[in-house]
């Protein structure tokens, strides 16, 4: 269940309330005449089943409310209401499967911004991956994957390509490129300093790395893993239950490959540089492809759910 608040011009209030009444997933409608000041207007509040939220927001935007007033939606953690339970029961589909596309877009838009926090997490993750390469430690590879924040910009690229949102595409690409260049550069410099000061007693990366060699040896399994990770990541972004998964372990071997690339460059182990670059490209490309396909499948499946739900409501 989501709580929707709309600031509506007074001459549009009755039409908006009538529009909300058309949606079976809407309940607890409240009108506060003249309550809003900036922008001025009436405040219309309602609770909406997640399954119906996308349609409700689309209807409000079609009436120009986002332009003349304001629309906001937030998750309802607890709703003790028979009316709310009935609204969720009437709405077609299941809330966990529903996609609120405006919410997804805003999440991707915010998460693909190039911020100091994004850069710091990517630098730390890449440095941790570099240490994992030096020690042949799969545990540190997992740690680097946990810290890596790069999946949201990758998902944003997939979403932007699918919906022709070119500004989002430009921003996400810039964030990825600058972020990885910065992370690789910092890891490279730190490795060189460690070599110069004697902190690192390795002349080059270990020749035998049975536990982490996969980060610079792309093969068909690398692409398959990237596809599966891309699907899991997008489902995490759009699902009502699994949002915590995003950015936790969907890095796969993007960050580990970047860390291996930086360390290999610093130690002059150029035979692994090409493999690391290919691994990075394969994983990013695979996740973008998987993201586009998953977004399309979710949209088509939900359209089918809504169509069946409308058919049942007409029969009833």
**Degrees, nearest 5: CA angle 43-45-48:** 150
pLDDT at 72: 95
Which residues of the chain register pLDDT less than 70?
A: 202-204, 240-252, 306-316
Spatial contact of 74 and 48, defined as CB atoms under 8 Å apart: no
pLDDT at 304: 82
pLDDT at 315: 45
pLDDT at 312: 45
pLDDT in tens, 113-168: 999 999 999 999 999 999 998 888 888 988 888 888 899 999 999 999 999 999 99
pLDDT at 177: 96
Buried b (16+ CB within 10 A) or exposed e, 191-204: beebbeeeebeeee
Instruction: Tell me the two tokens of residue 25.
Output: 């997933």
pTM: 0.87
Q: Which residues contact 281 (CB under 8 A, 6 or more apart)?
A: none
- Name 102's bridge partners: none
């Amino acid at each position: 269940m989501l709580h929707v608040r709309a600031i509506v011009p007074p001459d549009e209030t009755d039409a908006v309330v009538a529009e909300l009444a058309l949606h079976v997933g809407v309940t607890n409608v409240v009108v506060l005449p003249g309550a809003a000041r900036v922008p001025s207007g009436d405040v219309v509040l309602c609770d909406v089943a997640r399954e119906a939220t996308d349609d409700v927001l689309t209807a409000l935007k079609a009436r120009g409310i986002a332009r003349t007033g304001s629309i906001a939606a937030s998750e309802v953690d607890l709703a003790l209401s028979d009316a709310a339970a009935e609204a969720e029961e009437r709405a077609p589909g299941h809330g966990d499967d529903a996609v609120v596309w405006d919410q997804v877009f805003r999440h991707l838009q915010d998460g693909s911004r190039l911020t100091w926090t994004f850069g710091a997490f990517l630098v730390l993750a890449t440095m941790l991956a570099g240490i994992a390469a030096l020690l042949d430690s799969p545990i540190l590879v997992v740690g680097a994957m946990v810290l890596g924040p790069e999946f949201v910009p990758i998902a944003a690229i997939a979403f932007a390509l699918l919906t022709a949102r070119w500004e989002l595409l430009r921003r996400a690409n810039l964030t990825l490129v600058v972020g990885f260049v910065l992370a690789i550069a910092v890891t490279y410099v730190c490795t060189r300093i460690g070599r110069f000061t004697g902190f690192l007693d390795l002349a080059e990366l270990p020749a035998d790395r049975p536990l982490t060699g996969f980060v610079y040896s792309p093969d068909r399994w690398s692409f398959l893993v990237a596809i599966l990770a891309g699907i899991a990541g997008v489902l995490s972004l759009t699902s009502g239950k699994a949002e915590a998964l995003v950015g936790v372990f969907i890095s796969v071997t993007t960050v580990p490959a970047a860390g291996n690339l930086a360390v290999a460059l610093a130690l002059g182990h150029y035979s692994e540089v090409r493999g690391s670059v290919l691994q990075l490209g394969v994983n990013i490309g695979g996740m973008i492809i998987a993201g586009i396909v998953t977004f399309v499948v979710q949209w088509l499946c939900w359209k089918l759910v809504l169509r069946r739900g409308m058919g049942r409501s007409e029969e009833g």
